[in-house]
A and B are shown apart, each in its own frame.
Chain A
């Protein structure tokens, strides 16, 4: 009998043995390089992509988005919906059921009080929280018990997943940050560098703009994860150097955001140490068309404020300008595998990607014909067309960046072939995107006829992004040149349709309206979309489990990463 149970025990042990391989920390160290080094671990204060990504290994939101953009319950048991009663019928309340048994890395349980605290922390008027828009429209947060969070919205909110959804809106620990609320927020260095989280890793040593050392969270909810015991998260240098360390020398396992000339990357990948991965979010490189008159002769209250532009709002003009561009060539030389042709302002998620337009063939002759037909011809024989006596010579500005200058040079040439002269200008990115109301060179000020840059939105719902083309969002002296409607596009029908979108909760219907709004803006001369830009990262062959993601942090599933056999 004793012998039998002993044997049984031995059999049972062998059956358990394979499980022992999937042990926490069994795979040693993983080396990650982010050539833009994170300067903080608190994304609520910094708002930069690098800080959001780095902190996502430590602190977590209630829900994440997977690589397809679908919502994944993370710290909650399931996704609330109107059908399961998690969202109230009038769309003003959402109830989050928190997972049981989740612990902070320092021991205490994760509760609804932490979630409510994060809301209080970020919405404090003097805290300078970068992610405050995630909590826009929230009236109050209630915590009926430790495992339930109820969010009340002031108005019906068809998409209530912005707060605590995705890497930009993680939950902070109340006990740690309680003293750091409001004006004290930026002074809490220790807390901002070493936040306590529920994620797979814990910060051991944070050196701002240099290197972060992390180790596996002993209290992580899945006892078998993460497979790696430590992370060496190196920052600094440049994108080429980062790509080289993964693809050529094999010193690192993962390199992020490799904005490198496509041919250089392809050469490195040929070494066979690793592979490049791309994924596409909603980033679009586009040319914004100024719908106001940027004539320097106008006074400060009129320049880039009064409508219309002397010629850019003529459909014949902007359609011809679009037709003259070889988008396939641009995407190829600029971004390689990380760029795709797009005719849309909102090219992703797939449900929002309109198929109304095609724009992948350049046709200079047709563009010329289009302008001739519109009656815009060269009357004085200088090679430049005139509309109503105004020479079609435009100022084309963008930020300083070698790819953008290549784009500019090519586009200038194509436009010159249809009789439009362009003067090129590039402005340092820190000034161009700086938003300084006193500077004439910001992209908001738009003291030019056309300008090129990339914009995107976070999360998977474009409602707020589509609001960028509402009439009242146009920058002007009255708003200290702030506002998201850079092209000063204004159309009553657009505003009305956007208001319909804001009151629609059915996802299919929202997607249909979204596509229609996209078509309206593009076909009425708000912009010329050029390239749908993806994210490119590199993974060494020795790393498994990476699921490249543009909708959340690229490190969103770091708990599942492991050493490849």
Chain B
């Protein structure tokens, strides 16, 4: 297992390098101009000067090389400096966003907390709701519960958050006035009162996102349970006189969780990717909103860095899912 993991880790290095080059070249090919949002009252020659000041005039390969050096060599130094108070990175040019003219990683670090809070929590909530629904739906297949569960998950799959989000806002913020429609990213939780405020402002975005997660995971759980319920070992367990709760929740559930856990692990990178639409609807301003505004502003260093971080996470969690699969299922051995 260890050699497998090491081999996979080494293999991921060329994969990631190739991904970074592809992202960079795709962004180069994409039309658009970082100065497009500057008003027309600013004349073109001034815009040209502004582009030069951002380093846009250089050939693409040099820009790519500079980004590589900044991302893989200078940014880790900045992190070490931050942790240990050293000064390796002093005076070095970091990855600079074209919109804000500030280091990209600083903004990413600033945005991570709200994304993890909202999107991460919605993932946890979604899983906690989905698992019991999936288990019970499978156990009572074609019952009223199963049918209505199927109906609700279909709704969760098919109704996009740009509809559910504003709908919740109109009901709970405008009509009832229960929850704020705008997420305050500067809010700090210090006591119960401020925790209540945080809870109130998180509830709507978390629920919108959790609906999606629930829909997905509960379907996986249901089908995985159904596969196992008809197996011989279940009949054996029942024949031994085990109680029904033990049969379902110990024997069947443990075996059914194996594929579901890999699906859950594979979904974790998307937490860090944020939720572009939901974040925009509730003004959570996390990573998803950062990515979409960077795309609109043609802020290539920002888009490049964010998408590459996502790529690393996806490669990493794919590996984790594979390893977990082996750990959970002793029949699977990679060596």
Residues of A within 8 A of B (CB): 33, 37, 39-40, 45-49, 125-133, 183, 185-187, 189, 192-193, 205, 207-211, 213, 232, 234-238, 241, 244-245, 248-249, 251-252, 271, 428-436, 439, 441, 444, 453, 455-458, 482-484
Residues of A within 8 A of B49 (CB): 125, 128-129, 132
Of B44, B99, B107, B185, the contact of A435 (CB 8 Å cutoff): B44
In the complex, the chain A residue whose C-beta lies closest to that of B295 is A430
List residues of chain A with CB within 8 A of the CB of B166. Answer: 241
B248 CB to nearest A CB, Å? 45
Q: List 30 A-B contacts (CB under 8 A).
A: A39-B99, A45-B50, A46-B101, A126-B52, A128-B50, A130-B38, A130-B46, A130-B50, A132-B49, A207-B285, A208-B102, A209-B99, A209-B289, A210-B110, A211-B184, A232-B186, A236-B280, A241-B181, A244-B174, A244-B181, A245-B181, A251-B181, A428-B32, A434-B31, A434-B32, A435-B35, A455-B40, A456-B41, A482-B44, A484-B44
Chain B 165-185 per-residue mask, 1 if CB under 8 angstroms from chain A, else 0? 010010001100100111011
Cα separation A92 to B281 with both chains bound (whole Å):
53
A132 touches B46 (CB 8 A): yes
Contacting residues, chain A, for B320 (C-beta < 8 A): none
A-B contact count, CB below 8 Å?
A: 186
Cβ < 8 Å to A, chain B residues 240-268: none
Give the distance in Å from the alpha carbon of A432 to the alpha carbon of B35 in the complex.
11
CB distance from B266 to the nearest CB of A (A): 29
Are B54 and A186 in contact, with the CB atoms below 8 A?
yes
Q: How distant is the Cα of A235 from the Cα of B42 in the complex, in angstroms?
A: 24
Q: Does B59 reach chain A (CB closer than 8 Å)?
A: no
Give, as a whole number of angstroms, the nearest-CB distance from A528 to chain B.
Answer: 18
CB of A187 within 8 A of CB of B101, answer: yes
Question: Would you call B58 an interface residue if the criterion is a C-beta within 8 Å of the partner chain's C-beta atoms?
Answer: no
Chain B residues with CB under 8 A of A45: 50, 101
Are A430 and B44 in contact, CB atoms less than 8 angstroms apart? Answer: no
The complex places the Cα of A164 from the Cα of B44 at a distance, in Å, of: 21
Distance in angstroms between the alpha carbons of A33 and B285 in the assembled complex: 13
> Which chain A residues border B101 with CB–CB below 8 Å?
40, 45-46, 186-187, 189, 192
Given A205-B186, A209-B293, A237 and B53 contact (CB-CB distance below 8 Å): no
Contact B53 A128, beta carbon cutoff 8 Å:
yes
- A51–B145 alpha-carbon span in the complex (Å): 54
Which A-B residue pairs are the 3 nearest by beta carbons? A128-B53, A434-B33, A482-B44
Chain B residues with CB under 8 Å of A241's CB are 166, 169, 181-182, 281, 283
CB pair B39–A209 under 8 Å, yes or no, is: no
Give B282's nearest chain A residue, CB to CB: A237
B37 beta carbon closer than 8 Å to chain A: yes
Chain B residue at minimal CB-CB distance from A33: B182
List, in ascending order, chain A residues with CB within 8 A of B289's CB.
Answer: 209-210, 236
Distance (Å) between the CB of A478 and the closest chain B CB?
14
Structural contact, A213 and B186, CB atoms closer than 8 A: yes
Chain A: minimal CB distance from B233 (Å): 53
B174–A249 CB distance below 8 A? yes
* Residue in chain B with minimal CB distance to A486: B40
For the complex, give the distance between the alpha carbons of A432 and B40 in Å.
Answer: 11
Query: Is B40 a contact of A433 with CB atoms below 8 Å?
Result: yes
B100 interface residue (CB < 8 Å to A): yes
Q: Is the CB of B283 within 8 A of A234?
A: yes
Cα distance A49–B42 in the bound complex, in angstroms = 11
Could you mark each residue 21-56 of chain B with 1 if its beta carbon is under 8 Å from any beta carbon of chain A, else 0?
000000000011101111111111111111111100
Which B residues between 97 and 127 are near A, CB-CB below 8 angstroms?
Answer: 97, 99-103, 106-107, 110-111
Measured CB to CB, the closest approach of chain A to B296, in angstroms, equals 7
In the assembled complex, which residues on chain B have CB atoms less than 8 Å from the CB atom of A207?
Answer: 110, 185-186, 285
Cα distance, A435 to B293, chains bound together (Å)? 20
The yes or no answer to B298 lying at the interface (CB within 8 A) is yes
Q: In the complex, what residues of A have CB within 8 A of residue B42's CB? A: 47, 130-131, 133
* Complexed CA–CA distance, A186 and B49 (Å): 12
Give every chain A residue within 8 A of B102 (Cβ-Cβ): 40, 189, 192-193, 208
Asked if B39 contacts A48 (CB within 8 A), the reply is yes
Q: How many Å from the CB of A538 to the closest CB on chain B? A: 14
Query: With a CB–CB cut-off of 8 A, which chain A residues contact B54?
Result: 128, 186
Which one of B35, B40, B297 contacts A456 once the chains associate, using CB atoms below 8 Å? B40
Given contacts A186-B101, A234-B283, contact A47 B36 (CB under 8 A): no
Other A-B contacts than A48-B39, A129-B49, A232-B186, 4 sampled, CB-CB below 8 A, are A40-B101, A207-B110, A241-B182, A430-B296
Min distance, Cβ A175 to any Cβ of chain B, angstroms: 21
A208 adjacent to B53 (CB under 8 Å): no
Q: A454: nearest residue on chain B (CB-CB)? A: B40
Pick from B36, B47, B290, B293: contact of A430, CB below 8 A. Answer: B36
Residue of A nearest to B111 (CB): A210
- Most chain B CB within 10 A, of A237, A432, A436, A458, is at A237
A130-B46, A186-B53 as given contacts; A435 in contact with B182, CB under 8 Å? no
Tell me the minimal C-beta distance from B88 to chain A in angstroms: 18
- Give the CA-CA distance A27 to B296 in the complex, in Å: 37
| Interchain CB contact under 8 A, B41 and A457 | yes
Q: Which residues of A contact B35 (CB under 8 A)?
A: 434-435
Q: A126 CA to B173 CA in the complex, in Å?
A: 49
The chain B residue with its CB closest to the CB of A438 is: B31
Q: A209-B293, A251-B181 are in contact. Are A40 and B100 (CB under 8 A)?
A: yes
In the bound complex, how far is the Cα of B31 from the Cα of A439, in angstroms? 8
Taken together as a complex, chains A and B put the C-alpha atoms of A185 and B49 apart, in Å, by 13
The complex places the Cα of A357 from the Cα of B291 at a distance, in Å, of 47
Q: Which residues of B sit under 8 angstroms from A248, Cβ to Cβ?
A: 173-174
Q: Contact mask B151-173 → A, CB, 8 Å, 1/0?
A: 00000000000000010010001
Residue B96 is within 8 A (CB to CB) of chain A in the complex: yes
Asked whether A210 and B41 contact (CB < 8 A) given A192-B101, A436-B31, the answer is no
- C-alpha gap A132/B43 in the complex (Å): 9
| Partner pick for A431 among B33, B93, B297, CB 8 A cutoff | B33
* Cβ–Cβ contact B182 & A245, under 8 A: yes
Q: Smallest CB–CB gap between B73 and chain A, Å?
A: 18
What 1/0 flags go to B291-317 for Cβ under 8 Å of A?
Answer: 001001110000000000000000000
Bound together, the chains give a CA A119 to CA B38 distance in angstroms of 21
Q: How far is the CB of A435 from chain B (nearest CB, A)?
A: 5
Per the bound structure, the CA–CA distance linking A207 and B46 in Å amounts to 27
Q: Are A430 and B285 in contact (CB under 8 A)?
A: no
CB distance from B59 to the nearest CB of A (A): 14
- Most chain B CB within 10 A, of A40, A130, A132, A428, is at A130
Asked if A128 contacts B186 (CB within 8 A), the reply is no
The smallest beta-carbon distance between A496 and chain B, in angstroms, is 23
Judging by beta carbons under 8 Å apart, are A430 and B298 in contact? yes
> What's the Cα separation between A482 and B40 when bound, in Å?
12
Contact partners of B180 in chain A: CB under 8 A: 249, 251
Which residues of chain A have C-beta atoms less than 8 A from B50's C-beta? 45, 47, 128-130
Q: Which of B36, B181, B186 contacts A249 (CB 8 A)?
A: B181
Chain B residues 53-112 with CB under 8 Å of chain A are 53-54, 93, 96-97, 99-103, 106-107, 110-111
Are B173 and A236 in contact (CB-based, < 8 A)?
Answer: no
Measured CA separation A202–B194 after assembly (Å): 26
Asked if A236 and B283 sit within 8 Å, CB to CB, the answer is: yes
**A251→B182 contact, CB < 8 A:** yes
CB distance from A531 to the nearest CB of B (A): 16
* Bound form: Cα–Cα A453–B32 in Å: 17
Chain A contacts for B36, CB-based, 8 A: 429-435
Residue ID in chain A nearest B174 by CB atoms: A248
